[in-house]
Amino acid sequence: MPIVCRQAVRSRASATIARQIRLASKDLHGRLRSRCLWLRGCGPRSGRDGDLLVRQRYTDSDGRRAEQRESLELKVWRDGRKDPLEEGLAQLDGYLDRMGLTTGILVIFDRRTTATPITERTRFDEATSPTGRQVTLLRA
């Protein structure tokens, strides 16, 4: 069965999101790798697109092999900087275009000293990329 990141994360979010958000990226990589056929870091240094590309192979209802791909872009909102939402949506939109995907996930970690506690600021929203793609937005 394929992993549907947006739905899986939403269904478990209320009980475990604060703990999951605190995980280091290395720990997150290891946790996801155990559930996915292939997980790779992306971005300019690796010659790939996006911060994270999750690929899951599965057999569809007709018995054919299929593959689900999910692209995730990660941004950090730091003191003295503006909200990275607009930049993140534009960057993710370019990645989705090059990978031929219609949806993506944007995660924005609020690391400002004035940020509210993580349990209060963690939420899911829907956003639209500059070219009209649907993006699941996780603010934490």
Sign of the C-alpha dihedral computed for residues 4, 5, 7 and 8 taken in this order: positive
Residue type present at position 117: P
Give the start-to-end residue ranges of the domains of the chain. Answer: 5-139
pLDDT for 140 equals: 92
Give the pTM: 0.66
pLDDT for 107 equals: 95
Is 84 in contact with 108 (CB distance < 8 Å)? yes
Q: What is the DSSP letter of 99?
A: H
In angstroms, the CA 30 to CA 36 distance is 10
Is 80 in contact with 112 (CB distance < 8 Å)? no
Tens place of pLDDT for every residue, the chain, 140 residues?
A: 444 444 444 444 433 444 444 444 445 445 444 444 333 444 444 444 457 888 888 999 999 999 998 899 999 999 999 999 999 999 999 999 988 999 999 999 999 999 999 999 999 999 999 999 999 999 99
pLDDT for 50 equals: 57
